[in-house]
Amino acid sequence: DVKVTQSSRYLVKRTGEKVFLECVQDMDHENMFWYRQDPGLGLRLIYFSYDVKMKEKGDIPEGYSVSREKKERFSLILESASTNQTSMYLCASSLGQGGYEQYFGPGTRLTVT
Amino acid sequence: GEDVEQSLFLSVREGDSSVINCTYTDSSSTYLYWYKQEPGAGLQLLTYIFSNMDMKQDQRLTVLLNKKDKHLSLRIADTQTGDSAIYFCAEGNSGYALNFGKGTSLLVTP
Reported as a single tens digit per residue, the pLDDT across A11-36 is: 999 999 999 999 999 999 999 999 99
More confident residue, B52 or A80: A80
What is the rounded average pLDDT of the residues A47-74? 96
Distance CA A23, CA A93 (A): 10
Nearest chain B residue to A58 by CA: give it.
B97
Size of interface A-B (CB pairs under 8 A): 67
Residues 48 through 67 of chain A touching chain B, CB cutoff 8 Å: 48, 50, 56, 58-59
More confident residue, B25 or A6: A6
Q: Calculate what percentage of chain B has a pLDDT beyond 70.
A: 98
The burial of B42, by beta-carbon neighbours within 10 Å (0-12 exposed, 13-18 middle, 19 or more buried), is given as buried
| Predicted pLDDT at B93 | 84
| Predicted pLDDT at A70 | 97
B47-71, pLDDT tens digit by residue?
Answer: 999 988 899 999 999 999 999 999 9
**B17 pLDDT above the threshold of 90:** yes
With residues binned 3-state (H G I as helix, E B as strand, rest as coil), the percentages for chain B, rounded to 5, are 5, 55, 40
